[in-house]
Structure 1
Amino acid sequence: MERFVIFLSVIRDFEAYPDGIEFRSCSNCRRTMQSLTLTQYPTPISPPRLNLYPLRQIAVSLLSTPTAGINRRDMAASGRESASFKSLAVGRTITGGDGDGYCTLIDFAGANVGDDDLVVLLYHLQHACKRIASLVASPFNSSLGKLSVKSSSSGSDRDAPKPLDIVSNDIVLSSLRNSGKVAVMASEEDDSPTWIKDDGPYVVVVDPLDGSRNIDASIPTGTIFGVYNRLLELDHLPVEEKAELNSLQRGNRLVASGYVLYSSATIFCVTLGSGTHAFTLDHSTGEFVLTHQNIKIPTRGQIYSVNDARYFDWPEGLRKYIDTVRQGKGQNPKKYSARYICSLVADLHRTLLYGGVAMNPRDHLRLVYEGNPLAYLVEQAGGKSSDGKRGILSIQPVKLHQRLPLFLGSVEDVAELESFGDVQQTVNPGYEV
């Protein structure tokens, strides 16, 4: 007997407009409508078990884009059960304290963050990252990663942006505006910070799409973000001045940071100030689900990640360190292996899970929206950050696009690297990045 099974095809993406939501038809291969599809199987099978809890939760949240001023009560009323966020998340861990084994990013934040505003901000930020994940996976947009857009200002410290970077930046900015919780956003794609809302409690620094030059080769990319409290003592200053000073806070003042990895899986890795946790996007429900709780980077690994084609441009100390560890003559008697993707988020994600050290010894990576957020995340996972001489989080930024060498990873590996002394590359090899 043939049986029929109903599957729910969830919306992969949608766009918000002032008059409401516009859904793009799947006939042009750009959006997938929500639909119920009857699938007929030629042989008898048992219908799969449907988990109604996640379907209840996303029923409305996927059908409506976040709007300005949304708060916890609004979110609970528009797709979640009427219970508070904390009661939803209590006992719901990766092992399934309530029997369903289902803990979303927002559930987790609601149970572990005492500030409702931060939960709302994360809700909108994850929404932006879902849209970017869909964008980078689209066959129609991959070619955008190859093009460059001329910078609006001469002599800028920014890398030449690409259309895909600009679109991703607009997606993040739109979501942060809609949250109503952000005063200012500082981005790699903007020459100066963008003031959003006078009474927004938070400042967000972001690299909307790190590694976009690799899109056409399907190499993993990522979004990096950091969240600070707005400095109330600056409120009397002119907008441009207070926007910049709010964005130039030291990393040790971060209240949250993380990255989103767009790869074979879309992974939202975040710290809220008490440990580092990773959530994987479940495409069947559209939710980021807790998959790596309380990540602890090994105190020592066996992998180093660096572009060692530039070996002869390195200072003596760095060359000696790499020669030592790959021969197994360092503090760790095992021979180290090289793993280098040339995608900062991807290289760091592997290092976070397996240990070792990920590095760029040149003055290349940006302190404000790459170095500080990732250093905070690594240290919350029990790792260590350094520019080769000092901890990243103690460095006071002096300009938005300030660059520095960056070494992130296992405590013992980074400490051993620092012990070799001269590890910062000061020679510019003259190649285009």
Structure 2
Amino acid sequence: MQSTTTSSSPFYRLPSFRPKLQNFPSKTHLFPLRIPFYRQRMSSILGHGLRPLKALAGSTSSSSAGDNDDDGFVTLIEYVGKKGINVEDDLVVLIHHIQYACKRIAALVASPFNTNLGKQTGLGAVAGGGSDRDAPKPLDIVSNEIILSSLQKSGKVAVMASEENDAPIWISNDGPYVVVTDPLDGSRNIDASIPTGTIFGIYKRLEELDDLPKEEKAMLNSLQSGSRLIAAGYVLYSSATILCTTFGSGTQTFTLDHSTGDFILTNPSIKIPPRGQIYSVNDARYFDWPEGLRRYIDTIRQGKGRYPKKYSARYICSLVADLHRTLLYGGVAMNPRDHLRLVYEANPLSFIVEQAGGRGSNGKNRILSLQPVKLHQRLPLFLGSLEDMEELESYGDVQQKVNPGYEV
């Protein structure tokens, strides 16, 4: 939904905010006698004891010359440039602008001044239809404007399609890429400091459509099948700010180092376990579920499924957070009703999960095989470990088609 606010509101000048990084004295100044300096482990915020990874062979650090103790840490831009997967230069530029936008959103989410930004505006339901509980909030709109501004400045984007806009926005006739995004997923929980996230997917511009009218080619470029994604990612805003991404050759995670402002590579090849013991779903809707889904949940939590251990329920009600935990520990994260968006949420997240060895499904079919027909198209979404997903789909009737108590 496009913003209808006026420029007089002080909160809508936030997109121009540029956070200043604190300057720290050099280690030479702090330790003139060259006492060995040890960088603190980041396991407390990364999970699984992960630490910033040393650079791949032949790489150099972005730290200053002579600071040899810190040399070797790989930043996001170094990794996607020449030290890791070596993507094309235009895509490196685009990723630079996307990660900069996400750092600004991270600062906004963590700001003590975001209380009013988290309140509902009364502007109506979200683009594409939805209940009042999905109504856009100022924080969503500001995040959307931050991302749009960064994409415009990159010079590499033809069209942006966002959950917050009724229609795609045509940016440039010669931009090689198309970006689809949910700027701030889970923002209705911001007042309770529950984790939120940004989701994005990147496609190549369909050059064969260049002669069509602007509105038509913008829409068709945005409705590409998920199988055509060349990159996707999410950023989790929580105790740490974590960027998880894929460029079609595995899934990588980067963690924001607030002392330098860099996203640092913390796992170059994250793999979801083939099995997990966690399912993530709103159990309060159990009696609204179809018979197949109820039987599946009853079976696994009693330890009577193909995996003979009792499953536990973990549900944050923040899609990015629930998925991130699932990537780390395995299991299934799901919303069985027609609620999540195919273009902005299901496709990018399914691409990430598949590249990590898992599966994304609507309960019957592979998500990335579906052809979007509407920009704000909704569907059930099941994401998780390969063996867990195969067992879930074997129950057949897992899509919730009736929604008592919901307004959709």
> Shorter-chain TM-score: what band?
0.7 to 0.9
The yes-or-no answer on 1:198 pairing with 2:173 is yes
- Which residue of structure 1 lines up, in the alignment, with residue 71 of structure 2? 100
Amino acid at match of 1:110: G
Q: CA offsets per residue over residues 207-259 of structure 1, 9 Å max, x none?
A: 00000000000000000000000000000000000000000000000000010
Higher relative contact order (CA 8 A, sep 6+): 2
- Which residue of structure 2 lines up, in the alignment, with residue 113 of structure 1? 86
Tell me, which stretches of 5 or more residues in structure 2 are unaligned?
1-12, 27-32, 40-54, 62-67
99-108 vs 142-151, greater mean Cα deviation? 142-151
d(CA) in 2 for partners of 1:190 and 1:404? Answer: 19
- Which residue of structure 1 lines up, in the alignment, with residue 115 of structure 2? 142
* TM-score, normalised with respect to structure 2: 0.84
The alpha-carbon deviation at position 196 of structure 1 amounts to 0.3
d(CA) in 2 for partners of 1:145 and 1:231? Answer: 37
- Which residue of structure 1 lines up, in the alignment, with residue 210 of structure 2? 235
Q: Does the aligned pair in 2 maintain the 1:143–1:216 contact within 8 Å? A: no
Q: Judging changes above 3 Å, is the alpha-carbon distance between structure 1 residues 340 and 46 closer, same or farther for their aligned structure 2 residues?
A: farther
Query: Which of 348, 370, 373 is the matching residue for 1:395?
Result: 370
The yes-or-no answer on 1:323 pairing with 2:298 is yes
Query: Which of 247, 254, 260 is the matching residue for 2:222?
Result: 247
Amino acid at match of 1:143: N
d(CA) in 1 for partners of 2:130 and 2:191? Answer: 25
The yes-or-no answer on 1:264 pairing with 2:264 is no
Equivalent residue runs for 1:37-48 within 5 Å: none
- Which residue of structure 2 lines up, in the alignment, with residue 284 of structure 1? 259
Amino acid at match of 2:385: S
Equivalent residue runs for 1:6-405 within 5 Å: 32=20, 34=22, 49=37, 90-92=57-59, 100-111=71-82, 112-151=85-124, 156=129, 159-405=134-380
Q: Judging changes above 3 Å, is the alpha-carbon distance between structure 1 residues 155 and 351 closer, same or farther for their aligned structure 2 residues?
A: closer
Q: CA offsets per residue over residues 275-300 of structure 1, 9 Å max, x none?
A: 00000000010000001220110111
The alpha-carbon deviation at position 98 of structure 1 amounts to 10
The alpha-carbon deviation at position 156 of structure 1 amounts to 3.0
* TM-score, normalised with respect to structure 1: 0.79
d(CA) in 2 for partners of 1:263 and 1:221? Answer: 7
The alpha-carbon deviation at position 151 of structure 1 amounts to 3.7
d(CA) in 2 for partners of 1:121 and 1:286? Answer: 17
Q: Does the aligned pair in 1 maintain the 2:60–2:71 contact within 8 Å? A: no
- Which residue of structure 1 lines up, in the alignment, with residue 396 of structure 2? 421
Cα RMSD (Å): 2.7
SS, match of residue 295 in structure 2: helix
The alpha-carbon deviation at position 36 of structure 1 amounts to 6.2
Q: Judging changes above 3 Å, is the alpha-carbon distance between structure 1 residues 154 and 138 closer, same or farther for their aligned structure 2 residues?
A: closer
d(CA) in 1 for partners of 2:341 and 2:211? Answer: 28
d(CA) in 1 for partners of 2:170 and 2:112? Answer: 34
SS, match of residue 285 in structure 1: coil
Q: Does the aligned pair in 2 maintain the 1:92–1:102 contact within 8 Å? A: no
SS, match of residue 139 in structure 1: coil
Q: Judging changes above 3 Å, is the alpha-carbon distance between structure 1 residues 306 and 33 closer, same or farther for their aligned structure 2 residues?
A: closer
